[in-house]
């Protein structure tokens, strides 16, 4: 950025910006790429001529940094002052329509593109239009655009397949994939990413997944594309095929934080907490820095394993990396880790230091107190939660009803019952109804329990156990 400003100053001193319009446009483009949109706008307004190249430079800068409203304003203003949009302009505007899901605006742009005859002339415009319709879940329109394309590419097919994947049209994807290959197009890494996700979401790991895996290895994509490798690691890990996940992981030329996170979360999901903790130390030994997701996973693993030294070391590391104040997920995970291990003093200390607290934060602490027999503290913190104007949810009520039952606090339990009914949580929620039955039974109020039972649609083992 400093170099950009030095060049700008030199141009200004030499009077080049006024003399040479193209240099001013280059400056607008440079500032846009460097995320200094305000300066780009200032330079743009200093230009003597606003031609299509200058407009596109400024619009592109706004689009690159997610300033969708500014892009649309510029698009309208450039037309008002008599500039006709070109391919680059339409590509940027269609990207904004994708981001905002504004299909009406997109259809209006489509009409302008047809009017200028750009759809047949420009594959970039056709791809952008195809992506807009696919992301807006308008596949009839997307197919129409696709069929009018003079030279559809692998990218065009990928846009269509990714759109189907995004909106859960999983039956269409194998057909599209097969048609793509029959039409003479070779799938690339991005095609396989969508395909793998689809087969996984439909039926877990299947023979088709493994067939696709074999194709990927044969084409050499696994070594070349870390993103594709990460998807495979994630799929195998989530489905409990941890040895397969590890094999793919070890083949990757680059093992980034996403690769490690996929492996670590897979281990934790399937109860291999010690392996997850080992991975955490190996990733750092390999100079890969953990992110908030990594810490959230490892704190959960340490809570399950219950290793005091590791808990404190992780706590210290989150403080050293300034994550505790910045990321509520990390703060909640740290409270949860201490609470699960019964270290309630430490859990409370971390909780007190959280800059913000949500329902999850309170639920973790209240549940920690209840699980470890401090039922009075659980109810006291429930009151504090409401004083903090944080709305309780179903897990909150499940915990405090259990605490009321354990203490025989019938009066408080009845108050909570009224709250649950008033907030509409009880309707259709048999788990909450069972918790109310359990609370009333423990408090010796069998008529209250019977009233709830008579309204239950399903009598599960929890209800029977409470009655017995």
Mean pLDDT for 286-292 is: 85
> Which string of DSSP letters, residue by residue, matches 146-201?
HHH-SS--HHHHHHHHHHHHHTT-TTHHHHHHHHHHHTTPPP-HHHHHHHHHHHHH
Least confident of 17-21, 44-48, 360-364: 17-21
How far CA 334 is from CA of 213, 267, 317, 364, in Å, comes to 37, 19, 11, 10
Mean pLDDT for 442-463 is: 74
Share of the chain above pLDDT 90, in %: 25
Rounded to 10°, the helix 189-203/154-166 angle is 20
Q: Between the ranges 75-79, 295-299, 426-430, where is the mean pLDDT highest?
A: 75-79
How far CA 38 is from CA of 10, 32, 43, 63, 67, in Å, comes to 20, 9, 9, 14, 12
- pLDDT, one tens digit per residue, over 105-114 is 889 989 989 8
Angle at 88 between CA 86 and CA 91, to 5 degrees: 105
Mean pLDDT score across all residues of the chain: 83
Is residue 180 pLDDT above 70, yes or no? yes
- pLDDT, one tens digit per residue, over 122-171 is 888 889 999 999 989 998 998 888 888 878 889 999 999 988 888 888 88
Determine the pLDDT at residue 404. Answer: 95
Determine the pLDDT at residue 47. Answer: 76
Is residue 322 pLDDT above 60, yes or no? no
Determine the pLDDT at residue 462. Answer: 65
Determine the pLDDT at residue 323. Answer: 56
Mean pLDDT for 456-461 is: 66
Residue 362 CB partners (closer than 8 Å, separation 6+): 381, 382, 385, 388, 390, 392, 396
Q: How confident is the model at residue 245 (pLDDT cuts 50, 70, 90)?
A: very high
Asked whether 164 and 171 are in contact (CB, 8 A), the reply is: no
Q: How many CB atoms are closer than 10 A to CB 265?
A: 22
Q: How confident is the model at residue 19 (pLDDT cuts 50, 70, 90)?
A: very low
Is residue 439 pLDDT above 70, yes or no? yes
Determine the pLDDT at residue 99. Answer: 86
- pLDDT, one tens digit per residue, over 190-235 is 898 888 877 666 555 567 777 888 888 888 888 778 899 999 999 8
Is residue 320 pLDDT above 60, yes or no? no
Cβ-count burial 200-221 (b if 16+ within 10 Å, e if not): beeeebeebbeebbeebeeeeb
């Amino acid at each position: 950025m400093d170099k950009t400003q030095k060049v700008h100053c030199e141009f200004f001193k030499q009077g080049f910006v006024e003399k040479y319009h193209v240099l001013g446009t280059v400056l607008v483009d440079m500032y846009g790429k460097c995320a200094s949109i305000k300066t780009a706008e200032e330079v743009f307004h200093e230009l003597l001529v606003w031609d299509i190249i200058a407009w596109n430079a400024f619009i592109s800068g706004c689009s690159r940094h997610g300033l969708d409203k500014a892009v649309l304003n510029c698009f309208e203003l450039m037309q008002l002052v008599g500039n006709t949009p070109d391919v680059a302009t339409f590509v940027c505007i269609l990207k904004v329509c994708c981001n905002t899901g504004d299909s009406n605006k997109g259809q209006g742009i489509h009409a302008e593109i047809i009017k200028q005859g750009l759809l047949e002339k420009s594959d970039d415009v056709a791809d952008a239009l195809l992506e807009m319709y696919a992301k807006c879940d308008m596949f009839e329109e997307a197919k129409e655009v696709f069929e009018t394309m003079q030279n559809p590419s692998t990218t065009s097919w990928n846009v269509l397949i990714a759109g189907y994947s995004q909106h859960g049209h999983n039956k269409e994807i194998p057909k599209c994939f097969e048609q793509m290959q029959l039409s003479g197009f070779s799938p690339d890494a991005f095609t396989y990413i969508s395909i793998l996700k689809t087969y996984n979401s439909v039926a877990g790991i299947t023979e088709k997944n493994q067939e696709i895996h074999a194709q990927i290895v044969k084409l050499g994509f696994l070594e070349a594309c870390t993103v594709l490798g990460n998807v495979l690691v994630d799929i195998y890990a989530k489905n409990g095929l941890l040895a397969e996940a590890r094999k793919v992981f070890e083949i990757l030329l680059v093992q980034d934080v996403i690769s490690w996170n996929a492996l670590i979360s897979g281990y934790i999901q399937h109860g291999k907490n010690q392996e997850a903790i080992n991975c955490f130390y190996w990733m750092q030994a390999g100079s890969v820095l953990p992110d908030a997701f990594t810490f959230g996973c490892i704190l959960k693993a340490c809570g399950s394993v219950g290793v005091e030294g590791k808990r404190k070391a992780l706590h210290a590391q989150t403080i050293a990396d300034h994550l505790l104040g910045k990321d509520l997920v990390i703060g909640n995970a740290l409270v949860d880790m201490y609470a699960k291990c019964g270290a309630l003093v430490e859990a409370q200390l971390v909780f007190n230091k959280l800059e913000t607290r949500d329902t999850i934060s309170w639920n973790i602490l209240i549940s920690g107190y209840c699980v470890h027999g401090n039922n009075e503290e659980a109810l006291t913190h429930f009151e504090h939660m409401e004083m903090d104007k944080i709305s309780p949810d179903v897990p909150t009520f499940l915990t405090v009803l259990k605490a009321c039952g354990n203490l025989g606090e019938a009066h408080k339990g009845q108050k909570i019952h009224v709250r649950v009914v008033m907030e509409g949580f009880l309707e259709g929620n048999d788990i909450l109804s069972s918790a109310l039955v359990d609370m009333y039974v423990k408090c010796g109020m069998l008529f209250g329990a019977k009233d709830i039972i008579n309204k239950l649609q399903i009598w599960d083992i929890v209800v029977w156990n409470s009655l017995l």
